[in-house]
Amino acid sequence: MSEQPPAHIARLIPRLELTGTERILELGAAPGVAVAEIGPILSGDGHVTALDRSAVGARRIRERNQALVDAGRVSVVEQDLTTLAPEPPSRFDLIFASNVNVFWTHPRKANVDALAALLAPGGRLRLFYGYGPGDGAGSGRDTGSLVAATLRAAAGLADVTIDGAGPTLQVSARKRD
Ligand SMILES: C[S@@+](CC[C@H](N)C(=O)[O-])C[C@H]1O[C@@H](n2cnc3c(N)ncnc32)[C@H](O)[C@@H]1O
């Protein structure tokens, strides 16, 4: 971690409520800034899989986090989340994304059933939107309600909540036990 993260990333890190031992999947993780913030916290089995569909994005994640990749704490995957397969084992304690719009723009493509299948029982899904005050997020649309409806349509998820207070919108769900 050699530079200050953008404010929207700095805001979401505490909202992940990490102990450091979680197995984490970040969707749309380029350029790897959140990964760089989480990396030093990791201990025990703690690991981040950083996924992005952009080849340039995946390269930037890797370059920014090379030491964590070399240490086996971070894996970088170049893939579109809409093509993720719901393959066992259900290994992630936390799946999160910041400003990945497919969950409200194309709910049926968002592949939430597969994401739920990849979560361990009781695992958490957290989706964040917005860059800060005045970024226009939410103007003319209710992003939180749209994202929540996408998550509620997934059989494997429960306890869908929307936290729209403050500059970052957070939509959360939990994998059914
Ligand atoms: C707007 S940027 C946000 C980047 C970062 N998460 C943040 O909040 O600053 C969206 C990122 O998600 C990636 N992305 C968008 N849709 C995706 C998808 N369907 N599968 C994987 N990555 C996706 C893009 O390539 C891009 O890197």
Provide residues with CB under 6 Å of ligand 1.
27-28, 30, 51-54, 57, 80-82, 98-100, 102
Residue 44 lies in a domain: yes
pTM: 0.96
Probe target for ligand 1 pocket from 53, 60, 82, with the most ligand atoms within 8 Å of CB: 53
Residue 71 DSSP class: T
Measured between alpha carbons, how far is residue 46 from residues 61, 70, 103 in Å? 18, 15, 26
Residue 139 lies in a domain: yes
Query: What is the C-alpha separation between 149 and 165, in angstroms, rounded?
Result: 19
Residue 2 lies in a domain: no
Q: How many residues does the chain have?
A: 177
Residue 111 lies in a domain: yes
Residue 62 lies in a domain: yes
Query: What is the C-alpha separation between 13 and 145, in angstroms, rounded?
Result: 23
Residue 1 lies in a domain: no
* Residue-by-residue pLDDT tens, the chain, 177 positions: 457 999 999 999 999 999 999 999 999 999 999 999 999 999 999 999 999 999 999 999 999 999 999 999 999 999 999 999 988 777 999 999 999 999 999 999 999 999 999 999 999 999 999 997 766 555 557 999 999 999 999 999 999 999 998 889 999 999 998
Query: Which CATH number do you get for residue 17?
Result: 3.40.50.150
Q: What is the domain extent for residue 37?
A: 7-175
Residue 85 lies in a domain: yes
- Among protein residues, the one with the nearest Cα to ligand 1's atom 23 is 28
- Among protein residues, the one with the nearest Cα to ligand 1's atom 12 is 28
When divided into structural domains, the chain yields a total of 1
